[in-house]
Amino acid sequence: MKEVFIDMLSAVRVIRQLYHELEGDIAIKHGLTNGESSVLAFIHNNPGADTLSDIVYGRRLRKGNVSIAISSLEKKGLLCRKADEKDRRVTHLLPLPAADEFLSELTEATDELCRKVLEGLSPEDVEVLDGFFVKLDENGRKLYGRR
């Protein structure tokens, strides 16, 4: 069991590093910092998870760093804040059209990385793998204290 866990951690670590390098290269091309690109990418890839707290939890970043990135993205005209209609204490973050080129390029590159990482797996294998990761995510969230 431990060997499977170590193999899984290694695979996730490698794939995560590949994604962060890809994101970083595209960020540099568009004049964004790692923090700024991380905020935009997270909001884009996680519909409905568009608050500062969502990003802090989802990307495991410090609240202050996320706040700085959000302010910088606002100044660059790439992101805006919108108060929640039902709860004014909640602020949603919305990418603006000026961020579309970055997000489109990131999506295209991510899709290509996904194709390469999953190469050799059948659609059935991918479906089973997805089920495993959904369950691992649920278990991890329980351990982490957030559902």
Looking at 3.90.870.30, 1.10.600.10, 1.20.1250.20, 1.10.10.10, the CATH number of the domain 2-119 comes to 1.10.10.10
pTM reported for the whole predicted model: 0.85
Coil, helix or strand at residue 134: helix
Give 75-124 pLDDT, tens digit per residue: 999 999 999 898 888 999 999 999 999 999 999 999 999 999 999 999 99
Strand bridging mode 79-83 / 91-95: antiparallel
Cα–Cα distance, 92 to 141 (Å, whole number): 23
